[in-house]
Amino acid sequence: MVDYNTPEYRRNYGLAAVNSITAYEAGLSGQGVTVAVVDTGIDLKQEDLDANLSPLSIDITSNTFEGVQDPYGHGTWVAGIVAAEKNDSGMHGVAFNATLMAVRADNHSDCTDGCTFADNDVARGINYAVNKGARVINLSLGSDQQIIPGSLLADALTNAVDAGVVVVVAAGNGDDAMVGQSRPDGFARFAADAAVKGGIIIAGAVDSSNTITTFSNKAGSGEEQDVYMVAPGQSITTTDLTESDINRGKTTVIYGTSAATPYIAAAAAILLEKFPNLTGREAVEILLNSAKDLGAAGADAVYGQGLLDIAAAIQPSGTLEMTSAGGKSLALEGALLASPAMGGGLAQTMGRALAFDAYERAYNADLSSRIEEPASRFTLAEAAGRMTRLHSSLDVERYGLRLGISARDTGRQHAATSLERHARDGGLDADMSFEASVTPRLSVSMQSGSTAGHTAATGEMALTARAVDPASQLSTQGERAGMTFALTRHLDVGAVAFTGERLQAERMDRSLEAPRQSGGGVTLRRWLGAGAHLDIEGGRMFETGSTLGLTGTGVFSGIERATTDYLKLGGGIAMGTLRLDGAWMASRTETTLDESGVFAGFSTLKADGWALTLTDSRFAAQGHLFGLHVTQPLAVTAGTATLHLATGWRDDAPLYTRQVADLSVAERETSLELFHRYEAAGGLSLQTNFIYRRNPDNLAGVADEAAVFLHLATAL
């Protein structure tokens, strides 16, 4: 990164006072914008200005370029503050790459101690600058006399404003010689004329401590206050005439509202460089509205709108907006909660997008920063928190009944939202499970509560269920009910039904209705003898507010619902003391949008997952059971989201394109779990689970996880 805080920068203290370095760091320096300085011309030999000097510079009297040579120095001083080059020599201007159009308009009489300017010559200079493409005009000139509406000068200023040119005029030095009022001088007061108001800025001067100088005309209490702002104007280092008798090399130091005016003119050039589509009046309004308040709160009779603040001027005004896929304005707010099944796919492929402020200025929307990690992430830390709990279970073998209740103190009171309806008033989070054999051939089961909590409740391996079950993967809290009926000795049929919701959706918007899933399926189990079996399950899952877990708010809203069809194949086989169980699941998801956000469409999302479990009971007689579990949880293997985004400009209007983001997972999660259970005499059992997860939740770049869980149980 370029360091702009150079000796050359520091030599002009006003650059820091107006926060110009923020613009430089954003790559702005007035490049491509022409600032006309209607004044005494410019020193053609000044090496700090020559590279930025426009060949269209002119002497209005002689109508020549050569005649622009500055006879006094004032035009050269002013031009230096606007755009002296950044060349590690002398000082540099506020907009050090702007183009300087020097328009000499003095009356070519004696310029000893200063030149004089006829109104008509200034008017001709303004007209010339407008006709030759200047976007900003600096007038560090003044007069006690008011401009007469209808005069050449009044018409020239009006035409300039109407042409979209930003005009900046000096407020004047010292009170009105005739009237003695502290307000802008007669010439500057024309800025409040109805014909031009809002197109001309009056520049007052402050010192290095941002206090109004003793010489500067103040804003006054009239309408001039609305278009008056201040900039540094005391002891300002700038370029000098190369042959000046007071020249101390390349620079000199000046005082006056003459010096404050070019700060604002140069700021306008920077603003128009970044946002070339702004009108002149818009640029003026932005500069005035973004000024740093000084003196009395709000606009006041001394500082008017306040101190020029370039950093603030280039920032968005009001709320940034985008346009939804349905064509409606959309505030740039909200977040996208990625799905574990999609990992970081969307964040990695999200392209550039623009958002617009109240002036239609384009800013990088940086949508990637609004993508949060999967809301239902099953982190081991969370699982540990949920597992550190008091658990009790009741097994009544005679009736095949098993009842488990697991609870923990969450340590906080929950707000009563739909997201947290499982949280009890006392801050208690409870999970329940129930299994029963109703008849020798019919068994039923039910679970309610957190996914992780059931690991504690059931004492099973922590990851087994999650690997190949879309419902448990997408929800952190829910209910599940199942029924199995032994149709024949070798065939079980069953049904499952489930609902779930994502508690962590509260992270992005507490008012959001929790994305919910529900669904059901049919199961078949074919017993092959000796404990071997083949399983098949098919079902459908319905989501509201999400698609395979992906959900969002604000610009990412609009995911209305999704339907996922899944097929699960599995089986198990016993080989002596070893037992191998496995399952594989594939799914297809169709998404319905309402186009209230930037999502314009989703393709069919294809996903799959698998799990293998190996247990060894060779030491069962001694009370030991060992297990190994490997899984790749559900992950999208193919699918895209289409987003409606502004990516540039064409014909002065935002250019909207359809960007396709790949949702497939680049680096899938692979998890390994080692399991050991020891059952001692007297019903005491100790279970140990060691878990290692690589690319947790299919997120590349997320640190791998490892954890050990202990489970102690005793029979009563």
Under the rule (CB under 8 A), what is the footprint of other proteins?
Answer: 39-40, 72-74, 77, 107, 110, 112-120, 122-123, 140-148, 151-154, 170-175, 177-178, 186-187, 207, 213-215, 234-235, 246, 252-259, 261
Cβ proximity to other proteins: between 78 and 457 the closer is 78
* Cα end-to-end span (Å), the chain: 69
Under a CB-based contact definition with an 8 Å cutoff, are residues 285 and 60 in contact?
A: no
Under a CB-based contact definition with an 8 Å cutoff, are residues 182 and 204 in contact?
A: no
Mapped onto helix, strand or coil, the DSSP state of residue 424 is coil
Active site residue 39: yes
Cβ proximity to other proteins: between 49 and 375 the closer is 49
Q: Which amino acid is at 407?
A: A
Q: Which of 182, 216, 258, 324 is catalytic?
A: 258
Name the DSSP class of 206. Answer: E
Q: CA–CA separation, 44 vs 104, rounded Å?
A: 12
Q: CA–CA separation, 698 vs 695, rounded Å?
A: 5
Under a CB-based contact definition with an 8 Å cutoff, are residues 343 and 635 in contact?
A: yes
The Cα-based distances of 227 to 94, 202, 304, 465 in angstroms read 21, 6, 7, 68
Mapped onto helix, strand or coil, the DSSP state of residue 643 is strand
Beta bridge pairs of residue 429: 408, 423
Q: Which of 43, 57, 74, 185 is catalytic?
A: 74
Q: How far is the CB of 20 from other proteins (least distance, A)?
A: 22
Q: Which of 29, 39, 59, 608 is catalytic?
A: 39
Q: How far is the CB of 147 from other proteins (least distance, A)?
A: 7
- Residue linked to tokens 């640190």: 703
Cβ proximity to other proteins: between 191 and 635 the closer is 191
Under a CB-based contact definition with an 8 Å cutoff, are residues 339 and 550 in contact?
A: yes
Q: How far is the CB of 211 from other proteins (least distance, A)?
A: 9
Q: CA–CA separation, 134 vs 166, rounded Å?
A: 9
Cβ proximity to other proteins: between 28 and 123 the closer is 123
Q: CA–CA separation, 189 vs 184, rounded Å?
A: 6
Name the DSSP class of 510. Answer: T
Token representation of residue 599: 């999502």
Pairing outcome for strands 653-662 and 670-679: unpaired
- Residue linked to tokens 């003898």: 529
Of the candidates 499, 484, 524, the residue with the CA atom closest to the CA atom of residue 400: 484
The Cα-based distances of 666 to 233, 337, 345 in angstroms read 58, 18, 7
Cβ proximity to other proteins: between 234 and 596 the closer is 234
Interior angle at CA 218, CA 299 and CA 13, nearest 5: 90
Q: Which amino acid is at 123?
A: A
Cβ proximity to other proteins: between 32 and 114 the closer is 114
Q: Residue 313 — φ and ψ, nearest 5°?
A: -65, -30
Token representation of residue 289: 């509205």
Radius of gyration of the chain (CA): 37
Q: With 0-12 CB in 10 A as exposed, 13-18 as middle and 19+ as buried, what is 712?
A: exposed
Token representation of residue 651: 């014909």
Q: CA–CA separation, 391 vs 413, rounded Å?
A: 22
Active site residue 393: no
Cβ proximity to other proteins: between 28 and 157 the closer is 157
Cβ proximity to other proteins: between 251 and 477 the closer is 251
Token representation of residue 562: 């999704």
Q: How far is the CB of 36 from other proteins (least distance, A)?
A: 16
Q: How far is the CB of 72 from other proteins (least distance, A)?
A: 8
Beta bridge pairs of residue 521: 496, 539
Cβ proximity to other proteins: between 139 and 514 the closer is 139
Q: CA–CA separation, 642 vs 598, rounded Å?
A: 8
Q: How far is the CB of 347 from other proteins (least distance, A)?
A: 55
Cβ proximity to other proteins: between 17 and 346 the closer is 17
Q: How far is the CB of 313 from other proteins (least distance, A)?
A: 23
Q: How far is the CB of 251 from other proteins (least distance, A)?
A: 11
Active site residue 546: no
Give me the active site residues, please.
39, 74, 258
